Every structure is written in structure tokens, then in C-alpha cells.
Amino acid sequence: MEKFETFTVLIAKIGRSIRRLKTEEMAEFELKSPHVSCLYYLYLKGPLTAKELGEISAEDKAALSRSVEGLEEMGLIEPERGDKKRYKTPLKLTARGEEVAGRIALKADAIVKAAGKDMTEEERNIFYRCLTDICDNLQALCDGYDE
């Protein structure tokens, strides 16, 4: 039972810390936490559809839709081809969006580095491999409920 408690409490605390860091670090850009994923992944991967953004970021579909709409209104992203079918049209960063997303990517890298500052490269690799395995195993358990 102790392992379950430790696991769930630590995961919850990590999630809350990440949300708070996103919120605090995005205040200077007048952005909210859900905006971060959109800008970050468009910056790293180039134009993506809203569906692709949702798959990559694991953000809630409704929150992602609101984020995309808000980022368009702020002039940070735009449809790649002016198509009105939002969900199927690739979105891209505007020039201003590119600048903001670049600064966000630098902040994200610094936060990840600070979070793992006491780890060796080998420990970091093991940690991410284990975290990925846990995520995949939990997803497989959840997928079992859908069958």
C-alpha cells in the first residue's frame, strides 16, 4: 500500500508543480498553462493540426480548442493555408509566435534541467525509460476498460 500512496502522491505533486511553473513562467507573455503546449510543439515540430497537437501534448480536447482559438486571437498562430476546417488544417506560428515560443522553449529547457540537476546522465536516461514504461503500462490498463 505504501508504494501506491507514494506513487500517486508524487505524481499528483509533480503535476501541480508543472501547472504552477507553466502559469508563473507564462505570466510575462499573458498566456495560460494550456497555451504552452501548443506553442512549444509548434515551435519544435512545425505546422501541426489541432488533432496532432492534442495527440502530442495529451491536452484535453476542449482546453486545446480554447487554447488554439485564443492563440489565434493573440496573433501567435494561424492556419497554414487559410482553410476554415480548423481541426484538419495545419496551424503554424506567426513571426511573433515564433519569438514567444522560442523564449518558452528556452524556459522549458531550463526548468527541466533544474528539476534533474542532481541526476547523472545515466540516471536521467533510466528515469525517463522507467517513466515511459509506467505511462505505457498504465495506458494499457486503461485501454482494457475500453474493450
Q: In angstroms, how far is CA 133 from the centroid of its own chain?
A: 19
Mean pLDDT check: name the lowest of 16-20, 29-33, 99-103, 125-129. Answer: 29-33
The predicted pLDDT at position 86 comes to 61
Mean residue pLDDT across the chain: 90
Cβ neighbours for 47, distance < 8 A, ≥ 6 positions apart = 80, 90, 91, 92
Lowest mean pLDDT among 55-59, 106-110, 115-119, 143-147: 143-147
The domain ranges of the chain are 2-115, 120-147
What mean pLDDT comes out for the span 88-112?
93
Q: What is the pLDDT of residue 95?
A: 96
State which fold the 2-115 domain adopts: Arc Repressor Mutant, subunit A (1.10.10)
pLDDT at res. 1: 63
The confidence score (pLDDT) of residue 19 equals 86
Question: Bigger pLDDT: 110 or 61?
Answer: 110
Average pLDDT for 15-29: 87
50-57 and 33-45 helices, crossing angle to 10°: 110
Q: Distance between CA 57 and CA 133 in Å, rounded?
A: 18
Cell numbers that stand for 145 in this block: 476498460
